[in-house]
Structure 1
Amino acid sequence: MSVETIAPGSPSKAPANPWVRYGIRRFGRLLGSLWVLVTASFLMLHLIPGDPVRGALGPTAPAELVEARREALGFNDPIFDQYLAYLKRLFTGDFGTSLGSQLPVADILAQRLPATLTLAAFAFLTAVVIAIPLGVTMGVLTRRGRGRRAELAFTTGSVVVATIPDFLIGVALVYLFGIRLELLPVAGNDTAAAHLLPVLSLAIGPAAVLARIVRVEMAAVLEADYVRTAKAKRLPARKIYLGHALPNAVTASLTLGGLLLGALVTGTVLVENVFAWPGLGSTIVQSILTKDYPVVQGIVLVYGLGVLLINLVVDVALALLDPRSKIREV
Structure 2
Amino acid sequence: MFRYMANRIFSSLLVLLAIITITFLLMHAIPGGPFTNEKNLPAAVLKNIEEHYRLNDPLWKQYTDYLANLARLDLGPSFKYAGRSVNDIISESFPVSLQLGAVSIGLAVCLGIPAGAIAALRQNKWQDYATMLFATIGVSVPSFVLATVLVYVFAIKLGLLPAAMWGGIEYVIMPALALAVHPMAFIARLTRSSMLEVLAQDYIKTARAKGLPQIVIVYRHALKNALIPVVTYIGPMTASVLTGSFIIENIFAIPGLGRHFVTSIYNRDYTVILGVTVFYSVLVISMNLLVDLIYPLLDPRIKLTGKQEG
Q: TM-score, normalised by structure 2?
A: 0.89
1:211 is aligned to 188
Return the alpha-carbon distance in structure 2 between the equivalents of residues 324 and 71 of structure 1. Answer: 50
**Structure 1 counterpart of 2:4, one-letter code:** Y
Matching residue within 69, 72, 90 for 2:70? 90
Return the alpha-carbon distance in structure 2 between the equivalents of residues 82 and 162 of structure 1. Answer: 42
Instruction: Indicate how the Cα distance of structure 1 residues 69 and 284 shifts in structure 2: closer, same or farther if over 3 A, else same.
Output: same
Return the alpha-carbon distance in structure 2 between the equivalents of residues 210 and 325 of structure 1. Answer: 27
**Structure 2 counterpart of 1:87, one-letter code:** L
2:99 is aligned to 118
1:15 is aligned to none
1:281 is aligned to 258
Instruction: Indicate how the Cα distance of structure 1 residues 253 and 99 shifts in structure 2: closer, same or farther if over 3 A, else same.
Output: closer
Return the alpha-carbon distance in structure 1 between the equivalents of residues 205 and 192 of structure 2. Answer: 18
Aligned: 1:131 with 2:131? no
Aligned: 1:326 with 2:306? yes
- Kindly report which structure 2 residues correspond to 1:159-198, keeping only aligned pairs within 5 A, or say none: 159-198=136-175
Return the alpha-carbon distance in structure 2 between the equivalents of residues 128 and 231 of structure 1. Answer: 28
- Kindly report which structure 2 residues correspond to 1:233-272, keeping only aligned pairs within 5 A, or say none: 233-265=210-242, 268-272=245-249
Q: Using the TM superposition, give the Cα deviation of residue 284 of structure 1 relative to its aligned residue in structure 2, in angstroms.
A: 1.7
Return the alpha-carbon distance in structure 2 between the equivalents of residues 110 and 265 of structure 1. Answer: 13
**Structure 2 counterpart of 1:40, one-letter code:** I
Query: Helix, strand or coil for the counterpart of 1:74?
Result: coil
Alpha carbons 1:54, 1:61 under 8 Å: kept: no
1:315 is aligned to 292
Alpha carbons 1:170, 1:198 under 8 Å: kept: yes
RMSD (Å), alpha carbons = 2.3
**Structure 2: gaps (5+ residues):** none
Return the alpha-carbon distance in structure 2 between the equivalents of residues 35 and 151 of structure 1. Answer: 45
Aligned: 1:225 with 2:206? no
Alpha carbons 2:194, 2:226 under 8 Å: kept: yes
Question: In the TM superposition, what whole-angstrom CA distance separates every residue of 1:213-253 from its partner, at most 9, and x where no partner exists?
Answer: 11122223333334334333434333333333333323442
2:35 is aligned to 53
1:42 is aligned to 24
Question: In the TM superposition, what whole-angstrom CA distance separates every residue of 1:151-182 from its partner, at most 9, and x where no partner exists?
Answer: 45543542332122212111111111111111
Return the alpha-carbon distance in structure 1 between the equivalents of residues 173 and 278 of structure 2. Answer: 28
Instruction: Indicate how the Cα distance of structure 1 residues 80 and 140 shifts in structure 2: closer, same or farther if over 3 A, else same.
Output: same
1:33 is aligned to 15
Alpha carbons 2:228, 2:295 under 8 Å: kept: no
Query: Helix, strand or coil for the counterpart of 2:163?
Result: coil
Q: Using the TM superposition, give the Cα deviation of residue 265 of structure 1 relative to its aligned residue in structure 2, in angstroms.
A: 4.1
Percent identical among aligned pairs is 34
Q: TM-score, normalised by structure 1?
A: 0.84
1:71 is aligned to 51
Return the alpha-carbon distance in structure 2 between the equivalents of residues 38 and 252 of structure 1. Answer: 29
Instruction: Indicate how the Cα distance of structure 1 residues 252 and 44 shifts in structure 2: closer, same or farther if over 3 A, else same.
Output: closer
Q: Using the TM superposition, give the Cα deviation of residue 27 of structure 1 relative to its aligned residue in structure 2, in angstroms.
A: 2.0
Query: Helix, strand or coil for the counterpart of 1:184?
Result: coil
Instruction: Indicate how the Cα distance of structure 1 residues 237 and 91 shifts in structure 2: closer, same or farther if over 3 A, else same.
Output: same
Alpha carbons 2:235, 2:288 under 8 Å: kept: yes
Q: Using the TM superposition, give the Cα deviation of residue 65 of structure 1 relative to its aligned residue in structure 2, in angstroms.
A: 1.2
Q: Using the TM superposition, give the Cα deviation of residue 45 of structure 1 relative to its aligned residue in structure 2, in angstroms.
A: 3.5
